Structure 1
Amino acid sequence: MSSPSSPARGRPARLDRARTLQTALALLNQSGLDALTMRRLADAMDVRAGALYRYFATKQDLLTAMAERMMEGVAESAAAMADGDWSERLAALARAQRTALLAHRDGARVFAGTHSTGASTLGFADAFVGVLREAGFSDGDAARALYTVANYTVGHTLEEQAALQPGDGAPEGAGLLRGAVTAGTYPHLSATLPTLTSTDFASLFEFGLDLLVEGLRGRHAPSAVK
């Protein structure tokens, strides 16, 4: 007699960890994080909701595993994109993380709410810290830079994805900002409104990333640049 997660002999298995993650990410991309529930995931896999807890004790465990899956190959892709000095390698890591999160609807929201200690996430962090340590930065500065750049990347991507939800046109927030500024007396905001309401998020990201890199460069001159 078969169980919901162990069908009869000769039939393909309906439930395993890898397929559960794959289905969860598909549902995320289809409907977003708010619509992703354990019950809906179970329905999509044609199993009882309780069967999912064999692999994920809570929804938070599932989200953490999804975040880890998103980070697969990020460090490796960054290494392939840049082989220059420490600043180029650091920037490549940040860009690769942003790209990975953008590949999934609400990817930044999922990642921001988790604390994955999987091989992909830790491998990314190790590569980032290693770039700075090898360049001569202190251990403490390298670790603090990891938090600073990663938090910037995730935060920027979270706002980017919130502004451009699937199916939307121009970001609603940009329209509201434009209307409020033009209706009031804000000369400095009015002068910079084209940039403030821009949807060129890649350029905005690069500007902030450049500020962080230059700040690191100015804060500490490495004793040895590799």
Structure 2
Amino acid sequence: MPPSRHDRRSVVECALRLLDEVGLPDLSMRRLAAELDVQPSALYWHFPSKQALLAAVADRILDAVPRPDAELGLPAVGGAIRDALLAYRDGAEVVMSTYALRLGARRAQDALIASLPTHDEAQADAAFEFILGHTTLVQQRMHAQSIGAVDPDRADPLARADEVFQAGIRSFSGVRPVRRPS
């Protein structure tokens, strides 16, 4: 039976499944093509580069983030972003690399801007970078625990993760944006 044709959505869904199975370091275009039973060059019909594919994967990861017009505060939006990142193995790292290269949609940042009383873009970006960094640390700790790289006699590094996250989000909730003199 000849391989079926794939569209962008099915390629991204397969990439997400592989991300959960093998992690970002082992998610290659070659592996994805083999999983889809196509030649690697076929993937470039939909995505000009691996970074473009990862941007689409990042956008899919962040699909669960509330729309920017939602009447939600920073704690709810920040928590939804964190939950979306944690839903996939290495989800924070994928989104962080896409954000660093300014690829993909700005759904999370726009939702954060809308959640702040000041609607300040720089403050929203700072909150997003905190969420990305915090969630990356949590995912790295989870991975270390899963492979036995954490000393079992030491305290659980994830025990206070929620408390630290909430403290960080609260710190952004009360900060006024810095205005530069004209």
**Which TM-score bucket, shorter chain as reference?**
0.7 to 0.9
User: Comparing 103-112 with 199-208, which one deviates more in the overlay?
Assistant: 199-208
Report whether the alignment pairs 1:130 with 2:130: no
1:14 touches 1:46 (CA, 8 Å); kept in 2? Answer: no
Q: CA deviation at 1:212?
A: 2.4
* CA gap 1:123/1:199 in 2 versus in 1, 3 angstroms: same
3-state SS, counterpart of residue 124 of structure 1 = helix
Alignment TM-score, normalising by the size of structure 1: 0.68
Map 1:23-102; keep pairs closer than 5 Å: 23-76=14-67, 79=70, 83=71, 89-102=73-86
State the Cα RMSD in Å.
2.9
Where does residue 125 of structure 2 map in the other structure?
147
- C-alpha separation in 1, matches of 2:137 and 2:11: 28
Where does residue 166 of structure 2 map in the other structure?
206
* CA gap 1:126/1:110 in 2 versus in 1, 3 angstroms: same
Q: CA deviation at 1:171?
A: 6.2
Report whether the alignment pairs 1:107 with 2:86: no
- C-alpha separation in 1, matches of 2:26 and 2:34: 13
Where does residue 180 of structure 2 map in the other structure?
none
Q: CA deviation at 1:27?
A: 0.3
Equivalent pairs: percent with the same residue?
32
Q: Which has the larger radius of gyration?
A: 1
Where does residue 161 of structure 1 map in the other structure?
139
1:32 touches 1:105 (CA, 8 Å); kept in 2? Answer: yes
Where does residue 116 of structure 1 map in the other structure?
103
Gap runs ≥5 in structure 2: 178-182
Higher helix share: 1
- C-alpha separation in 2, matches of 1:157 and 1:210: 16
Question: Residue type of the partner of 2:128?
Answer: A
2:20 touches 2:89 (CA, 8 Å); kept in 1? Answer: yes
* CA gap 1:22/1:159 in 2 versus in 1, 3 angstroms: same
* CA gap 1:24/1:169 in 2 versus in 1, 3 angstroms: closer
Higher relative CO (Cα under 8 Å, sequence separation at least 6) belongs to 2
* CA gap 1:129/1:167 in 2 versus in 1, 3 angstroms: closer
- C-alpha separation in 1, matches of 2:112 and 2:152: 38
CA deviation vs aligned residue, 1:39-81 (integer Å, no higher than 9, x gap): 00000000001100001111111111100111113124994xx
Question: 1:20 aligned to 11, 29, 35, which one?
Answer: 11
3-state SS, counterpart of residue 144 of structure 1 = helix
Question: Residue type of the partner of 1:116?
Answer: L
* CA gap 1:171/1:94 in 2 versus in 1, 3 angstroms: farther
CA deviation vs aligned residue, 1:7-49 (integer Å, no higher than 9, x gap): 86xxx83321111000000000001000100000000000001
Alignment TM-score, normalising by the size of structure 2: 0.83
